[in-house]
Amino acid sequence: MNFSDLFFLYAFLPLCLIIYFISPKIKYKNTVLVVFSLIFYSWGDVKALILIVLYSLVNFALGRAIEKGRGKKSGKLFLLLGLFIDLGMLIVFKYTGFFTENINGLFRTSLKVPSMWVPLGLSFFTFRTVSYLLDIYWEKTDSEKYYPDFLLFISLFPCTVAGPIVRFSSIGAELKDRTVNVDDMYQGFMRLMVGLGKKVILADNLLAVSDAYFGVGVGAVSSLDTWYAVIVYSLYVYFDFSGYSDMAIGLARIFGFHFEENFNYPFMCTSIAEFWQRWHISLGTFFRDYLLYVPIFGKMRRYGGLFLVWFCTGMWHGASWNYIFWGLYFGLFIFIETLLGKKRLKKIPLAVKHIYTKILLVIGFGIFRFTNLNDLGSFFRNIFFFSKAGFAGQTLPTFFMNNIFLFIAGIVCCFPIIPWIKAKVAGRPKLETALGVVYSIFAIALLVLSTILLVNATDHPFLYRQY
């Protein structure tokens, strides 16, 4: 089930809300959320239901054991067991085929490449439990004592399938006690509708434009066309994933949960390091807090940790070499920026920094796009103007003009226009009220237009469902 399904928007969610809000106590409200979350997660795949329940039982028991064994050898052993189970499951389900293919290629063996079933949202809920177990061991949080609430933490449908990576320390208290007021409902629904608009109106149509070029094979695309198509693809990835995050944060707010932001206008960055402070924030902070300072590199800890983080960032996204290259690509430029230092970077003209970051980001999204290494090689030839199809295709001017308004809308929506307007009218009640009315009408219009577009639309799942 998708957030951008009409069934979800007009049947599943309303029914969940009605039953949730007529339930008198937090215990019953949580039960409603658990039931609907398990239905949402296992929709069309009963195996997923069995897995997530068993997974939650194991980690619930391990969390209790780690807490009881704090400061003892048993606590460390249970932590290691938990990490082995959680990360081992991630590796087995997600990377067995990848490892087998590479063993066959490296040693010229003919091992059968298994076709593994990968549970939805595996990377996201694995990282949630890993952070949970580590935080208990490090005494940053206590273990959950009531299993149904822990099951809700694992299965909560706004964030189970595609994030954000929500930590127990952030919402543990809200599992026990939370309230929802009018402002929560308003902010939640506004965020939900805006996120839906990002996905259906912008992302899905940007993907169609990009696929019109790359769908015929990148080797047959001219250099200029490749630049245009990969810029469009970059916008697609941003609006698809930030749209999902907006909807997840909005849905959670409606139910009284406060998720942290996952995107903060990343294309406004002036360095690659700043981009990753604004993009997929929950993933970046996870690796920073749990992996960056792992003491296994001795005197090279700073740079070894940086390599490990970006290798894992790439690997986390998928079982393909292009994702690893993608992670190391960004890690390389962050390493270079680290060597230069903040003082030197500040001396670079702002326009130069914007151009530098946008070119590198667009190339990075191209690496992300092509899982086939032959296609990736063709992409690099194209962007460096060695395309076999020449410098520019004959259809580019017409195609660009046919999609000019979509392209402009995508660019404009990368800017923090709404926060800027809110800051300008802050402290002026009449203007704030007027802005609220306009914003509400705008959000409702997005909902109506998105609904119309979804009626006969081909299903386009959120990109990060596969990770």
pLDDT reported for residue 4 = 87
pLDDT class for 398, splitting at 50, 70, 90?
A: confident
Cα(349)–Cα(337) distance, rounded to whole angstroms?
A: 15
Cα(73)–Cα(55) distance, rounded to whole angstroms?
A: 24
| pLDDT mean over 354-382 | 95
pLDDT at 351 over 90: yes
pLDDT reported for residue 288 = 87
Helices assigned H by DSSP within 348-395: 350-369, 373-383
DSSP 218: G
State the helix-helix crossing angle for 281-290 and 301-317, rounded to 10 degrees: 140
pLDDT reported for residue 276 = 95
Cα(421)–Cα(426) distance, rounded to whole angstroms?
A: 9
Q: How many CB atoms lie within 10 A of CB 100?
A: 16
pLDDT reported for residue 342 = 86
Tokens of 322: 């292009």
| pLDDT mean over 172-189 | 93
| pLDDT mean over 186-194 | 95
Cα separations in angstroms, 385 against 221, 227, 261, 358: 11, 10, 38, 18
Average pLDDT value over all residues in the chain = 91
% of the chain surpassing 90 pLDDT: 69
pLDDT class for 57, splitting at 50, 70, 90?
A: very high
pLDDT reported for residue 458 = 67
Cα(388)–Cα(185) distance, rounded to whole angstroms?
A: 54
pLDDT at 300 over 70: no
Contact 354, 345 (CB under 8 A): no
Determine the residue type at 142: D
What's the burial of 54, exposed, middle or buried (CB within 10 Å: 0-12/13-18/19+)?
exposed
Q: pLDDT tens-digit profile of 123-149?
A: 888 999 999 999 999 999 999 999 999
Handedness of CA 386, 320, 204, 263 (dihedral sign): negative
Nearest of 155, 131, 147, 144 to residue 57 by alpha carbon: 147
**Active-site residue list:** 317
Cα(464)–Cα(467) distance, rounded to whole angstroms?
A: 5
pLDDT reported for residue 194 = 96
Cα(59)–Cα(295) distance, rounded to whole angstroms?
A: 25
What are the counts of helices (DSSP H) followed by strands (DSSP E) for the chain? 22, 0
Q: How many CB atoms lie within 10 A of CB 460?
A: 17
Q: Which range, of 201-210, 212-221, 325-334, averages the lowest pLDDT?
A: 212-221
Tokens of 137: 């061991």
Contact 212, 399 (CB under 8 A): yes
Better pLDDT: 46 or 325: 325
Q: pLDDT tens-digit profile of 402-454?
A: 999 999 999 999 999 999 999 988 888 889 899 999 999 999 999 999 999 99
Nearest of 299, 323, 297 to residue 310 by alpha carbon: 323
Q: pLDDT tens-digit profile of 240-298?
A: 999 999 999 999 999 999 999 999 999 999 999 999 999 999 999 999 888 876 666 55
pLDDT reported for residue 106 = 86
Cα(104)–Cα(446) distance, rounded to whole angstroms?
A: 50
Tokens of 203: 């992302």
pLDDT at 466 over 80: no
| pLDDT mean over 45-69 | 93
pLDDT reported for residue 426 = 87
Cα(385)–Cα(252) distance, rounded to whole angstroms?
A: 46
**DSSP, residue by residue, 53-87:** HHHHHHHHHHHHHHHHTTTSHHHHHHHHHHHHHHH
Q: Which residues contact 168 (CB under 8 A, 6 or more apart)?
A: 128, 131, 132, 135, 141, 144, 153
pLDDT at 299 over 70: no
Kindly report the length of the chain.
Answer: 467
Better pLDDT: 300 or 423: 423
Q: Whole-prediction pTM value? A: 0.93
pLDDT class for 45, splitting at 50, 70, 90?
A: confident
